[in-house]
Amino acid sequence: MSEIKLRVNNREITVKENTILAAALANAGIAVFRESVQGEPRTFLCGMGICYECRVTVNGAPNRLSCQVLCENGMEVTTSEAVLPTGEAGRE
Amino acid sequence: MKREFDVLVIGAGIVGTACTLELAKTGLTVAVLEGDTVGSGATAAGMGHIVVMDDSPAQLALTRYSQLLWDELVQSDPRPHEYHPCGTLWLAADAEEMAGVELKQELYLSHGIPCQPIGREELYRMEPNVRPGLEGGFLVPGDSVVYPPSSAAYLLSKAKNFDTTFIRGQVTELVPGGVRLADGATLKAENVVVAGGWNSKKLLPELPMRAKKGHLVITDRYPDFVKHQLVEMAYIKNAHASEGDSVAFNVQPRPTGQVLIGSSRQYDREDASIDFAILGVMLRQAFGYMPGLAELSTIRVWTGIRPATPDGLPLIGPYPAQAGVWLATGHEGLGITTALGTARLLAAQLTGQPAEIATEPYLPARFSEELAHV
């Protein structure tokens, strides 16, 4: 299986072809995908396009469901830069 | 529970809660009855646009009067209302509509309403996502946006500082000197105020109101996609066709960054279901003014029923067919804006005090012929 490269928050990551974006982000150590209206950290939950918790910006388009997007070579992804309030789990 | 009051207000929407507070302030004992939650019905369905409208001199008088009351209400603390002073930017598509802007400006200035014609370049600086080729616009900076269910809850909380009671119960019938509830109980009051929006028709079927159903769509958060409430200049023409279905471009920025997209009108449709045909027409109209809307993801679509009178003005005052019954309904699409003015006018009439603006244009008695057939 060939490998592809994408940029997540200006950092290059390498994943296998046909990787789901949410999984790629989680594997890259990103714990906070986005923030709620009140600024609370949010991450993917259902993994099947229902809960809308995994929204990220993909190639400039905000609010894409990362659990429904396949990684593509050269893809630019932006997530929240926040870390979990408790510390450890959110650190890269 | 107490069963006798000076006034019973039916409906805890924005109009009912505003009336409850105003009446309670005069020292009367008031109970407000609601079969659903506070601020449900059309209060929850509408956009919450506090807007000056000028279909008729009486509409202009009531919307402006009410808007100033809103300004006063939110001044002390805008947060409970999610108040957003975004102003309204009317969009003129061509020279004819730009000529309409001039007339509008003249009218607004003669009433002391701040406003400003907007040239083409300025328009695109203010709203870069509007489609190219428009002629200009008309800015009404004093217009604003609230979240109406929160405002209704706030008005009710303020009313609790006076002698008021909130009663959860469905009114099934007006009876002499009071109302009957679905559970069979009777509540007594010298005065009954019917403020149930479209549901008022269930209690008084002869009211001169028709259902005018509307659809709204809300998007995910896209901060700064749109900065003002945008409405097409042809709105009045499109929104007030007296028959048939119609749509008009009307888009609002919510403080969360979400975009609220309207608007549709369908006469005599009372069901809450989504009509995908008119929804499609409404969205195509919106994409025509803001093509980028088509790229945003929406999270919810819903409907609401506007209670529309034949002359587009609400029913505020004594119900001619039955002494002790008062009306505060028939606000069509302006119930949020005109709720506070309605409450003042109703309280003045009910307590025999002078009102701050003329009450005649809104008196139910103007339809005495229709109401005589009871």
Please give the average per-residue pLDDT across B157-170, as a whole number.
Answer: 97
ipTM of the complex: 0.74
CA distance B52 to B92: 17
Task: Write out pLDDT tens, residues B17-60.
Answer: 999 999 999 999 999 999 999 999 999 999 999 999 999 999 99
Query: Distance (Å, rounded) from C-alpha A30 to C-alpha A22?
Result: 9
pLDDT of B350 > 50? The answer is yes
pLDDT at residue B374 is higher than 60: no
Q: Enumerate residues 6+ apart whose C-beta is below 8 A from B310.
A: B208, B367
Binned at pLDDT 50, 70 and 90, residue A48 comes out as very high
The residue of A35, A38, A63 whose CB has the most chain B CBs within 10 angstroms, and thus the best one to mutate to test that interface, is: A63
User: B282-297: per-residue pLDDT in tens?
Assistant: 999 999 999 999 999 9
Structure tokens at B173: 């019938």
> In sequence order, what are the residues at sequence separation of 6 or more whose Cβ sits closer than 8 angstroms to the Cβ of residue A40?
none
Q: Which architecture does CATH list for A3-83? A: Roll (3.10)
pLDDT the model gives residue A90: 43
Which residues, including other chains, have CB under 8 Å from residue B326's CB and lie 6 or more apart?
B191, B192, B193, B194, B317, B318, B319, B346, B349, B350
Domain borders along chain A are: 3-83
Choose among B222, B256, B299: nearest Cβ to A62.
B222
Span A58-91, pLDDT tens digits: 999 999 999 999 999 999 999 998 776 665 544 4
Q: Which band of pLDDT confidence, cut at 50, 70 and 90, is reported for residue B311?
A: very high
Q: Tell me, what's the pLDDT at A38?
A: 87
Q: Is the pLDDT of residue B88 over 70?
A: yes
Write down all domains in chain B, each with its CATH number in brackets.
Answer: 4-45+148-208+311-371 (3.50.50.60), 88-141+210-307 (3.30.9.10)
What does pTM read for this prediction?
0.91
The average pLDDT across B239-246 equals 74
B349-353 mean pLDDT: 98
- Would you state the pLDDT for residue A92? 39
Chain A residues whose CB is inside 8 A of the B297 CB are 63
Percent of chain B with pLDDT over 70: 97
The answer, yes or no, to whether residue A1 has pLDDT greater than 80, is no
pLDDT band at B177 (very low <50, low <70, confident <90, very high): very high
Q: Which residue carries 């992804």 as its tokens?
A: A77
Distance CA A48, CA A66 (A): 10
Distance from CA of A3 to the nearest CA of B (A): 30
How far apart CA A50 and CA B151 sit, in angstroms, is 31
pLDDT of residue B242: 66
pLDDT the model gives residue B235: 75
How many cross-chain Cβ pairs, A to B, lie less than 8 Å apart?
14
Task: Determine the residue of chain A that is closest to B297 in CA distance.
Answer: A63
B371's CB contacts (< 8 A; 6+ apart) are B206, B207, B208, B319, B320, B321, B364, B365
B241 band by pLDDT with thresholds 50, 70 and 90: low
- Considering only CB atoms, which residues of chain B are within 8 Å of chain A? 220-222, 256, 295-297, 299
